[in-house]
Chains A and B, each alone.
Chain A
Amino acid sequence: MARMKFLCDAERCIECNGCVTACKNEHEVPWGVNRRRVVTINDGEPGERSMSVACMHCSDAPCAAVCPVDCFYTTEDGVVLHDKDICIGCGYCFYACPFGAPQFPTAGAYGSRGAMDKCTFCGGGPEPDGSAEEFKKYGRNRLSEGRLPLCAEMCSTKALLAGDGDKVSDIFRERVTYRGIGTLAWGWGVAYGKGGVRQSSGLGGKASSTKE
Chain B
Amino acid sequence: MGKKSPEAAGRRRRMMYRALALMLAAVLLLPLVPYAVAYVGGITNPNPGADLWRQVRQRETPPEVRTQVRGVDTGVLINARGESWRQFRMEQLIPWSGWFLGGMLVAIALFYLLRGRIRIDKGRSGILVQRFTVNQRLAHWFMAVVFTILGLTGLVLLYGRFVLIPLLGPEGFSVTAAACKEIHNLFGPIFPLAVLLILFYFVRGNGFRGVDFKWLAKGGGLLGGHASAGHFNMGQKLWFWGTLLFGLSLVVSGLILDFPVFGQGRPVMEWAHFSHGIAAVLFIGGAFAHSYIGTLGMEGALEAMTHGTVDANWAKEHHDLWYAQMEAEGKVGAVPGQEAPASSGSPETAGG
Residues of A within 8 A of B (CB): 1, 3, 5-8, 10, 15, 17, 20, 32, 34, 37-43, 51, 53, 56, 58-60, 62, 64-71, 73-74, 78, 83, 85-92, 94-100, 103-104, 106, 108-113, 165-166, 168-169, 172, 183, 185-186, 188
Contacts and interface: CB of A to CB of B under 8 A. Distances in A.
B285 to A, nearest CB: 21
Given A99-B78, A111-B260, A165-B46, 10 more contacts: A3-B45, A41-B63, A41-B64, A60-B42, A69-B170, A95-B79, A98-B79, A185-B52, A186-B55, A186-B56
17 contacts: A1-B43, A6-B49, A53-B77, A56-B53, A62-B83, A65-B39, A78-B45, A85-B171, A95-B273, A96-B86, A100-B266, A110-B185, A110-B261, A112-B258, A169-B46, A185-B51, A186-B52
A148 B168 CA distance: 36
Interface of B: 37, 39-40, 42-49, 51-53, 55-57, 63-71, 73-80, 82-83, 85-86, 89-90, 157-158, 160-161, 165, 170-171, 173-174, 177-178, 181-182, 185-186, 189, 258-261, 266, 269-270, 273
Contact of A95 (B80, B85, B171, B185): B85
Contacts, number: 178
A68 B177 contact: yes
Contacts of B157: 68, 90
A34 B66 CA distance: 15
Given A7-B48, A32-B71, A98-B78, A69 B63 contact: no
Contacts of A78: 43, 45
B259 A111 contact: yes
Contacts of A83: 170
Contacts of A1: 43, 45
Given A32-B71, A34-B71, A69 B174 contact: yes
Contact of B47 (A37, A71, A73, A165): A165
A88 B178 contact: yes
A40 B161 contact: no
Closest 9 CB pairs of A and B: A37-B69, A169-B48, A3-B45, A111-B261, A86-B174, A41-B63, A43-B66, A59-B42, A88-B178
Contacts of A100: 73-74, 76, 79, 266
Contacts of A168: 48
Contacts of A103: 71
Contacts of B161: 67-70
A151 B174 CA distance: 32
B75 A62 contact: no
A51 B67 CA distance: 10
Contacts of B273: 92, 95
Which of B48, B76, B85, B161 has the most chain A CB atoms closer than 10 A to its own CB? B48
Given A37-B69, A71-B174, A112-B185, A183 B82 contact: no
Contact of A98 (B37, B66, B71, B83): B83
Given A68-B158, A97-B79, A98-B78, A183 B51 contact: yes
A85 B174 CA distance: 8
Nearest to A58: B47
A20 B69 contact: yes
Nearest to A3: B45
A98 B174 CA distance: 25
Which of A10, A53, A188 has the most chain B CB atoms closer than 10 A to its own CB? A53
Given A89-B181, A186-B55, A110 B65 contact: no
Contacts of B68: 15, 17, 20, 37-38
